[in-house]
Structure 1
Amino acid sequence: MNAVAASGIGSLPGTDVEGAARAVRELYGDGGLPYLVELPARGPGADLIGRTAAQLTGLAVDLQPAGWRLTDAAGRDAARARAYLRQDLDVLAEVYDGYTGALKVQFCGPWTLAATLALPRGERVVSDPGAARDIVQSLADTVVEHLQQVRRLVPGAVATVQWDEPALPAVLAGRLPTASGYGRVRAVDPNVVRDGLLRLTETVGREADSQIMHCCAADVPVPLVRQVAGLELGLDTSLIRAAQWDGIAELVESGRRLWAGLVPTDSTARHPRQSGGRTANDAEPDGRARYESFHQHVDPFVGQWHRVGLEPALLEQVVVTPACGLSGLSPAEAQRIGRLTVDAAHAIRDLAER
């Protein structure tokens, strides 16, 4: 394990790719888990769906007023998305020249992609089992090629793939509206979802050192993740229901890491050694203030960890992240949340070593 396991979700504010990449390497590149930055503010094609859809091997997409859809020929928005990613990879090669260690890349997961992309006639891809299978296979091939390219650009990288699946709970529960808005897309059988994830992770596992399913929505399907061998879990810890903790405990005890979104991405986040309006340059607050702030962000998680019988040493398998992406914040706020994440990871590590 890294000495301090901390990382980000991927998305950041602004349009300065090089500045964002250098900030991420500076923050997480010494013992943490840096990542390929995503800057959605650049426009269509830099967003989660467009960024992934435009790269799909053997499939073409274009952008319509209702969103991204499969088509016979790629549109100019897809071309722009591919150009954005080429720029990001060029910057990655420059910023991570000589780097050796963990490096994370993010893609939209297959079920969120199938839930969001439209078929040519307008319905969601997830409503067509054959089309959904095509998405899984194309995405697997796409990411294998992407990881090979990343390894050529950064030969010392140990690759981790994050699959972003914010829509997966809705896919499983049948909560997605149809194109007309008057009905709901039929829920996808959990076994079908599991089998798709298995095919995807087995293929990508040839190039990736580890893979994570990240979902910052409520009702993360923890039992399903446990059925996909080796797949790690990332989630917003504030949304974990009591009934989910046993499944999380089993996942951790199986040797997998938990990517814990401990640091909220709103103004309630405070430094573990900071209270109220203090800054890092102020005098150290008293013990009570430190405890209250620590309790707010780390203690509830660690307390539940102990209540389900997990050993303190297993906290070494926790990677601390923000609760979700940071694209909606100002650059200064995103930097602050990033520093808090590293500080929270230090706190978790200290508890693991006691």
Structure 2
Amino acid sequence: MNFSKHWAATLDDYAIDLAWSPDGKILAAASTAGTVSLFEAATGALRHALVGHDDGTNALSWSATGVLLATGGQDGKVKFWNPSSGSLAHEYLLGTAWVEHLAWQPVKRDQVSAISGQLLFASAGKKLVALRADGSLAHAFPDAPKTITALAWRADGAACAVAYFGGVCVWDATTFAVQKEFPYGNTIHALTWSPDGKWLVAGCQDNAVHLWVPSEDNEFHMSGYETKLKELSFSHDGKWLATGGGKDGCVWDCSGAGPEGREPMMLPHQHRVCAVAFQHQHSLLATAATNGEFCLWSPSRKNPLVAEVKMPSAATRFTWVPDDSLLAVGTEKGNIFVFKTA
């Protein structure tokens, strides 16, 4: 496999979020200063510099067709942008707290032509709302018990899990009713579903990974990490779960009965792992450490290391383009690097 730098760019501050458009032609990059930059995937040329949010932008999410880019910021607003023109289409004031998490409802590829009902879930403080593509409010949920710390849609788009100190609530996307509630006695920093919806996984403040099997009301717990857990990623087939939480990346085998009682594959780094991301359709895993190094791995190989790169500062975000041919990396110093795989 060939792995090489495709292009690079520099933001005006820390790269807090990255997101590829669904067609893979545009990379959106948000800086903590507030600006949202739209880059051409082929050349790295800047298509638009959106003004973003006063005091800072926190999160990005593309609609299924790519006709809208949603952003959330420290001004308490959710903004809907037209990426073709760079103009603001709609905005919604969620409150005085920062909008830290937002995610469009997943839509199956054969349904993309009929997504007028696609919802955007957004949170600020304890507040959670479902917004329509025209910026109007579809539903305001009851306040969470504590500040919302993570959102994760199930891959079928039928439910969204919402984490806060003390647990997780799974909301139905059609009725807006509670499907499940899972108590947990600590802060949850990260949340993800396995692609088949079997596993709901949390990265936790108490140096642990916690897994639920919602369909069976069953749960598992893996503790003993060096640090709190903020990094989670499932492989496209749901077999492998990659985590950070220390100087080694950990890859757990989630096939069959799951990872409990199994030894994880350890992927060594010189410093604490700060980002992990599996490809969407293939088997490569990217992991990064706080000293600026990042690695590509193929967990199914006897010698899993595929490539190693050193950057000038630590990665803040990884994002693979939908067809996995490009990997975008954002860093603490605002650098954006896009690498090509072939």
Task: Check whether TM > 0.5.
Answer: no
Look at both structures and tell me which one has the larger radius of gyration over its CA atoms: 1
**Structure with greater helix percent:** 1
**Structure with greater strand percent:** 2
Provide TM-score, normalisation by structure 1: 0.32
- Bigger relative contact order (CA 8 A; separation at least 6): 1
